[in-house]
């Protein structure tokens, strides 16, 4: 079986074909002009080039493409004619999809050739405000900033930053996390003063996502454990999993006492969908995910969502463009409309000791100067 391999070419003038293939172009030219020399002139190629290309295609495909009769013009063989027919059929049937793909590629590469456009790669803990920010940034009146966001766990996001796979990492922590908390033990080894910088983004509310009307009367994690409610967790490495384990420890609850603690879903959205479908009674998540699906929400804690970057990239054009965008009145007003979100020092570079309070810095005392 022969396989089709697609490729595309960047050019100032790529012609009007939806997908270009050199073989059908050669076959069409031979069919129209009745000779290899005529086809070569029409394609602005040498006779030797066209002849050699046709022979190479015949060897690769295992069939004769052109036939000559004595005193007659060159004609396509039956195999050659069927190949040309197949290409026309594919072009006709796939024209809408090909046109859409073509337009998407041109839009994407237009950014690459625009000296005023910026692309910023961001690995981040799942967050609906970032989804809204990506859409907001792509609008023409907010500047040419394109956010390449890949959602992963908070821990994995910071690791990606440290390994050079992204420019920014999105993660979240409870406010005033103690030095002995799981939050501190998780993030302290990954973020180092002097190497990383923290950019403010938002305060958001995390809590219990429950069915409409909260039929089981779940108002705390103690209620979840007491009632045996079917719980859905988030995977290891996610900020919400770290938060849950911290809250369980503070409440003196054993994780094994939560029915479904070992079961997890990849995002707040997936948790909400599972509760809405009746596959679970409750799960930890953000308020926006619950409200978007008509579910009830029991707030448990406010947390800060941070954007971390390396100090070296703080003043790079793409990062500066994002910091500027985050402080515009339009974005701040939009974020304020999202359920469970409040802009918090949005776009500002913040002291690590303020937002990650387990880092405590003391200034060295200056020795008194000696007088002569």
Per-residue pLDDT of the chain (372 residues; tens, 9 = 90+): 667 777 777 766 655 556 778 898 999 999 999 999 999 999 999 999 999 999 999 999 999 999 976 667 889 999 999 999 988 888 778 877 877 887 788 777 878 888 888 999 999 999 999 999 999 998 755 457 899 999 999 999 999 999 999 999 999 999 888 888 999 999 999 999 989 999 999 999 999 999 999 999 999 999 999 999 999 999 999 999 999 999 999 999 999 999 999 999 999 999 999 999 999 999 999 999 999 999 999 999 999 999 999 999 999 999 999 999 999 999 999 999 999 999 999 999 998 888 888 776 444 444 444 333
Those residues with Cβ within 8 angstroms of residue 97's Cβ, 6 or more apart along the chain or in another chain: none
Give me Rg for the CA atoms of the chain: 30
Q: Which CATH class is domain 108-349?
A: alpha beta
Angle (CA) 254-260-266 rounded to 5° is 115
Distance CA 48, CA 257 (A): 79
Q: What is the pLDDT of residue 17?
A: 59
Q: Which residues pair with 168 in a beta bridge?
A: 122, 309
Q: Where in the chain is the domain with CATH 1.10.10.10?
A: 22-93
Q: What is the pLDDT of residue 20?
A: 76
Distance CA 20, CA 3 (A): 16
Topology at the third CATH level for domain 22-93: Arc Repressor Mutant, subunit A (1.10.10)
Q: Which residues pair with 202 in a beta bridge?
A: 305, 343
| Sign, CA torsion 71/73/78/80 | positive
Q: Where in the chain is the domain with CATH 3.40.190.290?
A: 108-349
Distance CA 82, CA 63 (A): 11
Q: Convert 137-157 into a string of H (helix), E (strand) and C (coil).
A: HHCHHHCCEEEEEEECCHHHH
Q: Are strands 145-151 and 118-124 parallel, antiparallel or unpaired?
A: parallel
């Amino acid at each position: 079986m022969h396989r089709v391999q697609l490729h595309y070419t960047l050019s100032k003038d790529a012609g009007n074909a939806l997908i270009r293939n050199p073989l059908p172009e050669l076959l069409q030219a031979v069919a129209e002009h009745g000779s290899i020399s005529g086809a070569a002139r029409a394609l602005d190629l040498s006779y030797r080039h066209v002849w050699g290309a046709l022979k190479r295609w015949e060897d690769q495909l295992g069939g004769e493409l052109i036939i000559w009769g004595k005193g007659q013009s060159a004609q396509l063989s039956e195999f050659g004619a069927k190949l040309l027919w197949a290409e026309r059929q594919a072009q006709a049937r796939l024209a809408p999809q090909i046109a859409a793909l073509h337009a998407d590629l041109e839009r994407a590469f237009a950014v690459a050739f625009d000296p005023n456009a910026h692309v910023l790669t961001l690995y981040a803990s799942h967050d609906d405000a970032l989804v809204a920010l990506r859409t907001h940034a792509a609008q023409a009146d907010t500047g040419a900033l394109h956010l390449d966001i890949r959602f992963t766990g908070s821990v994995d996001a910071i690791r990606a930053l440290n390994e050079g796979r992204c420019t920014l990492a999105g993660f979240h922590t409870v406010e005033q996390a103690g030095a002995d908390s799981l939050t501190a033990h998780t993030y302290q080894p990954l973020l180092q003063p002097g190497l990383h910088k923290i950019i403010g983004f938002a305060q958001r509310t995390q809590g219990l996502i429950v069915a409409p009307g909260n039929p089981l009367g779940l108002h705390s994690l103690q209620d979840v454990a007491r009632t045996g409610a079917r719980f859905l967790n988030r995977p290891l490495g996610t900020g919400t999993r770290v938060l849950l384990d911290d809250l369980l420890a503070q409440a003196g609850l054993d994780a094994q006492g939560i029915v479904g603690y070992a079961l997890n879903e990849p995002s707040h959205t997936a948790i909400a969908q599972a509760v809405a479908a009746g596959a679970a009674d409750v799960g930890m998540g953000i308020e926006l995910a619950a409200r978007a699906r008509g579910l009830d929400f029991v707030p448990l804690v406010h947390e800060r969502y941070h954007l971390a970057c390396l100090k070296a990239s703080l003043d790079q054009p793409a990062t500066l463009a994002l910091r500027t965008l985050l402080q515009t009145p339009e974005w701040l007003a939009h974020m304020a409309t999202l359920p469970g979100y409040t802009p918090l020092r949005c776009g500002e570079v913040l002291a690590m000791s303020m937002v990650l309070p387990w880092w405590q810095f003391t200034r060295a005392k200056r020795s008194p100067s000696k007088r002569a």
